[in-house]
Structure 1
């Protein structure tokens, strides 16, 4: 028996990326999965466009696959957040016996961020789908047809493996590795994406500190044991913080080289000036205060205010357009303020 996987894809005003991601997901070879789209209050007609795709009305063009009209229509079941909040079981409403032909569409009334948006999808999967695994997948990704097989094969090989990540390649440069697992430098508070060369990984799975949230597979049992993503983070470092909790609960976090996806990156956050600077800065302080030792936190503060902050300010002045410099600078300072004081 193959374990069942719930694939959760978060959408916010990004239907074009989302339907390309969906088409790649509906072409994977793994036999037992359900797909959940969580729409975070989009205002760009995303919901209707996604339904049009499911009906076969929108053909996808991509360098990574050929569009398959024969896997349409896809059965769409819609739920509002209010319906889910009633806590009434909706298992009987998911009627299509062929799970890979289902698309569950959860419509949030607002943008709850990456953390809580995914939490809503995770809770739905655990309460209604009896999923053995949860896969968090960014909408700006395209997946290899065999990537989920590779991840599940490794996950099933060891009961202590709780979280897994694939090799993440650059979408625009498909041979360039964006992440081969993640390493935390505690004395600097830096979360570094490893490359295959830096980490000396070949084909064998390796333990890592954490994996990128754009393609994170987790055993369902973890959410009952360590909780969900921290919704206060909203976006950035929430998957890192969650992986650290998993590690503290004695689970292995594993990078699987043969699982492959391609990631655009910044498709959502780049729409808002200062969004990344504020949330990443604030969350870094929160993360370090909660999980680092006193010595590590002091070292982090020394590094941040003595070096890193000035590098960020220099980057703002050098890279940003003139009209974006002041908003970006303010966002950075607000991130420091909220991170230190709350």
Structure 2
């Protein structure tokens, strides 16, 4: 075991969540935070250009330590979380989807690896599905296959029978719930806003690991997730961002021969397969979404700089 780091006995944790036209769902999350046993945290709700300002509804709920930040525009997952980070005062930043439900000891359990292992920069809990509470969504991530651009969450769709109860380093964080140290933000920057939606946490994870930090799966910590409530299970927007950002992620994070093989795999096999499926089902909106995603990648350069937050060091 590595020598423990010296951190404050009870550091301030900033819990940051993004709301988009889901005030009732967000209030369910806030209600669950009443059970948290960790004594020192703040909650920042970023409203991402919703049709109705949720501030009054949240205020009436009388939830503890909540600040609402209202953006007039939809900044996407990355931009919304980055806006929350800019208003946060914490020593650690816990990015949490608004469609999750927390468990009482979540925060102290996620804090433990930072105390024990100097290299840890991000911790993530086990995630199970809210509607199937014994089914795993995330228990860490497998390595990226650089030739296909694919990775898989460990334990996905498995009943939780204790088979993934061993904590340890993992390859990628899960965007639904990730606690990040201030040191990570100072060295690796924040989420890159060019992604807007999907793949942003994989890109951030890759940058965080390149900056010398570990991403740690904390098996004892647990949340429940109502997956895909913001954009639905399948629609043209989801197809667009998944297509666009898979290519964008690979262009930014894989180089040389592996990236060449990925292009051959993607444009000769994966993409034609998707086009045939959407044509046979006659889903023209999906076909147009793929075309727009390809055009976007053709017109955007790989060397676009990552988002950073230089003011974060002064936030406390």
**Bin for the TM-score computed over the shorter chain:** 0.7 to 0.9
Shift of 1:114: 0.6
Shift of 1:238: 0.9
2:226 counterpart of 1:264: yes
Contact 2:53/2:70 (8 A) holds in 1: no
Shift of 1:340: 3.7
Q: 1:174 to 1:110 in 2, by over 3 A?
A: same
Between Structure 1 and Structure 2, the one with more helix by share is 1
Q: What SS does structure 1 have at the residue aligned with 2:259?
A: helix
Match of 2:114 in 1: 155
What is the distance in 2 between the residues matched to 1:301 and 1:175? 38
Residue 41 of structure 2, aligned match among 33, 37, 50: 33
2:21 counterpart of 1:24: no
2:291 counterpart of 1:328: no
Contact 2:236/2:289 (8 A) holds in 1: yes
Contact 1:188/1:304 (8 A) holds in 2: yes
| Count of matched residue pairs | 288
What is the distance in 2 between the residues matched to 1:192 and 1:236? 14
Q: 1:303 to 1:43 in 2, by over 3 A?
A: same
Match of 1:60 in 2: none
Q: 1:33 to 1:300 in 2, by over 3 A?
A: same
Give unmatched runs, 5+ long, in structure 2. 1-8, 301-316
Match of 2:100 in 1: 141
What is the distance in 2 between the residues matched to 1:21 and 1:307? 41
TM-score, normalised with respect to structure 2: 0.85
Give unmatched runs, 5+ long, in structure 1. 55-73, 75-100
Q: What SS does structure 1 have at the residue aligned with 2:116?
A: coil
Q: 1:279 to 1:330 in 2, by over 3 A?
A: same
Q: 1:219 to 1:276 in 2, by over 3 A?
A: same
Match of 1:185 in 2: 145
Match of 2:66 in 1: 103
2:6 counterpart of 1:11: no
2:85 counterpart of 1:122: yes
What is the distance in 2 between the residues matched to 1:181 and 1:205? 9
Superposition CA RMSD, Å = 2.1
2:157 counterpart of 1:194: no
Q: What SS does structure 2 have at the residue aligned with 1:270?
A: coil
What is the distance in 1 between the residues matched to 2:128 and 2:106? 13
Shift of 1:233: 0.9
2:56 counterpart of 1:48: yes
Shift of 1:272: 8.8
Q: 1:315 to 1:37 in 2, by over 3 A?
A: farther
What is the distance in 1 between the residues matched to 2:13 and 2:279? 45
Shift of 1:314: 4.9
Render the CA deviation track for 1:180-215: whole Å, top value 9, x for unaligned: 1223222111132221779x9633312111111110
